[in-house]
Structure 1
Amino acid sequence: MTKIAFVSDVAYPWVKGGMESIQYLEMKNLSEKNDVYCFCLQFEKMKKEFDKEGIHYITVAKASVKDLYTSKGSRSIKLAMKFARALPRAIKDYNFDFIYANTFPYLHLKYVKSYCRSHNCILALDVAEVWDLKRWKGYLGTLKGTAAYRYAKNAIHGADYYVANSSVTASQLNSVGIKPNKIKILSPVLDLKIRVKKSKRDTSVVYSGRLIKEKRLDLWIDAVAKAHSLNPNIKGIIIGSGPEETHIRDLASSYDFIKMRKPYATKLWLYNELRRSMCFLNMSEREGLSITTIESAFLETPPLLPDYTPIPDEVKEISIVKSLNSIPEAIVDIASGKINYKLDKDKLKKFDITTINPLFERLIRKRKA
C-alpha cells in the first residue's frame, strides 16, 4: 500500500473553500487504496491527531480560522510562517512514498523539497493558480508584492510533478519555466455517483464561495438588482464568508430580495441549494477553475458567466457566457425559459474524482521505472 501525505496549511471542512473541498475529495478517494495522511494547521474543533473517513490527520500548530486573513483581505503571513516552522518537526520521522503539497502559501515548500530529496519520495505540487508580478503587487503592495513574486517563482521549482487544476494554470506554469512533461492537468471536483433529489426550481440567482474583492460581488448584486427590476420574482442568495463579508452585507441590505447565508455545513446542503436555484452567477475576475460553476452544471443549474471571465475554456463550454451589460437580461431570459440550458454530460467526465487514482498510479510507476 502506497503511503501518501497531503501537505496543506488548511483542511476541509474546518476551512471551507474550493481548493479545500477538492483536497478532501482527493484524500477520501485515494484512501480507498492507499495509506493517506494530511499535515495541516490545528483549527477550532480539531484534535492534535485523529482519523476521519479513512484519512489520518496530523496537525502541526494551533490556529484560528478568523486569523487566516488580514484586515486588508490577504492571507496571513504569520500563519503561513507558523505552518512552515512547525511542519518539519511533525513529519520528519515518517517515511512517505508520495507527497502531494498545496503550493500556496509557498513558505513550507523549501522544507518539503528537502524532505523528499532525503527520503527518496516523489513530490507533486498541487497548483491552483500562478500569479504574475502585477497580481502579487495588487495583493500585497509594490514592495511586499515584488518580494513575494520573486520568492514564489523560485519556490515553485524543484518538484517531480505539477498537478494543474486547469489548462489556464498549466499554461501559467509553463510560462515560469516548468517543463510541459512535468505538468499534469487534473480537475477532480465531482463525485458523479452522488445523487441529489430533484426539487422545484425557484427564481433565485445563487452565488457560493469566498467573499473576497476578486469575486466582484458588487457587480453580482448590481446585476441581480437590475434583473429584479425587469422581473420582480427574481431573488438573490449569497452563500459564503470572508474578509469582504461586512461590506457585501452592507451592499445587499439595500435590497430585501437578496439574502446572505453562512458557508454550507455539508456538501449535500450546498448541492440542494444549487439544485433548487434558477441559475448560478459567477462575476469573478480571478479564477483558476471555479469548482462551484462546475458543480452547478452537474446539478443542471445553469452557470452564467460574464465574457471577461478568466475561467478556462473547459468550464466555459459547460456555461452560459454573456457580455457584462447583458447579464441582467440573461437572468430574466433564464427565468422565462427563453434561454434553455442543455448540457452534454460527457463533458463532465474530466471532472470526475475517480480520475485521481489512475494519475497517481501512473506517476508512481513512472518514478519507479
Structure 2
Amino acid sequence: MRIAYVYDAVYPWETGGVQKRVWELARRLADDHDVHWYGLHYWDGPAVIEREGVTLHGVGEPETLYVDGRRSIPEALSFAARVARPLLSESFDVIDCQEFPYFPAFTSKLSAARHGATLVLTWHEVWGDYWYEYLGAKGVCGKLVERATAAVPDCHLAVSDRTRRDVASLGASDPRYLPNGISVAEVEDAPEADADVDVLFAGRLIPEKNADLLVRAMSRVRERNPDVQCTVVGEGPERDRIESLVADEGLDATVTVRDFYEEYEDVLGLMKAADALALPSEREGFGITALEAMACGTPVVTIDHPRNAATELVADGETGAVCDPTPEAVADGILAARACAPEDCVAAASEYDWDRLADRAETLYREVA
C-alpha cells in the first residue's frame, strides 16, 4: 500500500502525542509499505528526505504553531494551502490526516477524491462546547468548522473510546478505534535517572493541564508527609504563574519547577525514578504520558473529568488513582497511588505496544482502502 500521513508538526523536531503517534506508526508500516509524511520543513537540506524508510515532505518553512497558548489559525490555513500541490501530485491508497487543526483535512479530501484514495481522519479530541471556553463567543466558529470536518472523511478513527463516542455524536457512522501507544523496548532500555523524585509532573504548562491543582495538592501532602517532594517538568505560558504559586504556598523546598528535557530517554528515566506521576489534566484526548509512566512501573494520579480520556488507562487503586478535581482529593490520590504495584502498571501498559498497534493499523487500512 501507499500510505500518506498529513500533519504539520513533524517528529522529532516537534514533540507531542500526535507527532509521536504518526511517527511510530509510519516507521513500522514502512517496513512493508510505501509510507509518506507531509508536514513542515524542519530539517536541514532538501525538502524531501527519507528517514527510517519514511519519506518526509517538507511543504514549507515552519511557522509558529501556538500564539498565546492557542493553536495558530493562520498557520493551520497556511499549511492547508501549502500541502495542496505536493499532496495532489501523488496517488495513495490511504491518506491518514490528523483531525486538528481541521483545515488540512479539506485539502486531503481533494487529493483523495482526485486519485480515488481513502481518507482516514484520526481524531484525538472532539471539543464541542469546549470551543466556547476556548474562544468565548467566537467559539461558535470553531464548533462549526469541527462539525464540517466530520463530514469530510471516508473513515473516522479515534484514539480513545471517549473520543469515539464524541465523534459519533457529530454524526459520523461507525468510527473506528486505534489507541496511541508506547515502545515497550524503548522504555525498558531507558536508564533510571539518578534523582530523588517522589511525585512527577511532565507536560506543557497550559491552563487545561492543571499544574496549579497539583501545587495546591502538594500543600495538603506536605501537611501529612513533609518528606514527599514534587518535580514539575515543563514549559509553557503558565510557567510564571506556577512558579509564583509555589512561592505563595511556601513550597519552595517541596516543589521544583524545571525545564523540559530534550531527550525522550531522560524523561523516561525521571518517570522510572518517580513514585507517582501526576496528570491532573481536565483535557486529554488520550493521555500518552500516563501510559509511558505506567510502562516505567510508575502509578498515575489523574482526575475524573468529562474531557480527560486518561481515566480510561488508569485503574483506580491498581495502577494509580482517579480523583475528584480538588486539592484534597488529589493529595489523597498521590499518597494512595504510591502503594500501587509497579508490575501491575507495566502489565497494563504492555497492551499498548506500538508493534501491536501498527499491525492493527495495517489491517484497518487494508479494510478501508
TM-score, normalised with respect to structure 1: 0.89
* 2:276 corresponding residue in structure 1: 279
* 1:329 corresponding residue in structure 2: 332
* 1:241 corresponding residue in structure 2: 235
Q: Return the letter of the residue paired with 1:293.
A: A
Q: Return the letter of the residue paired with 2:164.
A: A
* 2:31 corresponding residue in structure 1: 32
Residue of 178, 183, 187 corresponding to 1:186? 178
Change (3 A) 1:99 1:253: farther
Give the C-alpha shift of residue 153 in structure 1: 0.4
Residue of 114, 117, 124 corresponding to 1:121? 117
Change (3 A) 1:203 1:170: same
Greater alpha carbon shift after TM alignment, 202-211 vs 116-125: 202-211
CA distance in 1, matches of 2:17, 2:232: 15
* 1:112 corresponding residue in structure 2: 108
Deviations 1:286-326 (A, max 9, x none): 11210011111111111012334733553132432234323
* 1:52 corresponding residue in structure 2: 51
CA distance in 2, matches of 1:334, 1:172: 30
Give the C-alpha shift of residue 58 in structure 1: 1.0
RMSD over aligned CA atoms reads 2.4
CA contact (8 A) 2:201 2:278 kept: yes
Instruction: Tell me whether 1:130 sits opposite 2:129 in the alignment.
Output: no
Contiguous gaps of at least 5 residues in structure 1: none
Instruction: Tell me whether 1:314 sits opposite 2:312 in the alignment.
Output: yes
Give the C-alpha shift of residue 271 in structure 1: 0.8
Instruction: Tell me whether 1:88 sits opposite 2:80 in the alignment.
Output: no
Give the C-alpha shift of residue 200 in structure 1: 7.5
Give the C-alpha shift of residue 95 in structure 1: 1.6
* 2:19 corresponding residue in structure 1: 20
Change (3 A) 1:14 1:30: same
CA contact (8 A) 1:211 1:240 kept: yes
Q: Return the letter of the residue paired with 2:329.
A: S
Greater alpha carbon shift after TM alignment, 232-241 vs 292-301: 232-241
CA distance in 2, matches of 1:51, 1:202: 40
Q: Return the letter of the residue paired with 1:245.
A: R
Change (3 A) 1:118 1:341: same
CA distance in 1, matches of 2:62, 2:21: 21
Give the C-alpha shift of residue 179 in structure 1: 0.8
Local SS of the residue matching 1:14? coil
Change (3 A) 1:357 1:38: same
CA distance in 2, matches of 1:214, 1:342: 30
Contiguous gaps of at least 5 residues in structure 2: none
Greater alpha carbon shift after TM alignment, 275-284 vs 148-157: 148-157
Residue of 102, 107, 110 corresponding to 2:98? 102
TM-score, normalised with respect to structure 2: 0.89
Q: What are the residue-to-residue correspondences of 1:167-316 with 2, within 5 Å? A: 167-180=161-174, 183-194=175-186, 195=188, 196-197=190-191, 202-253=196-247, 255-308=252-305, 310-311=308-309, 314-316=312-314
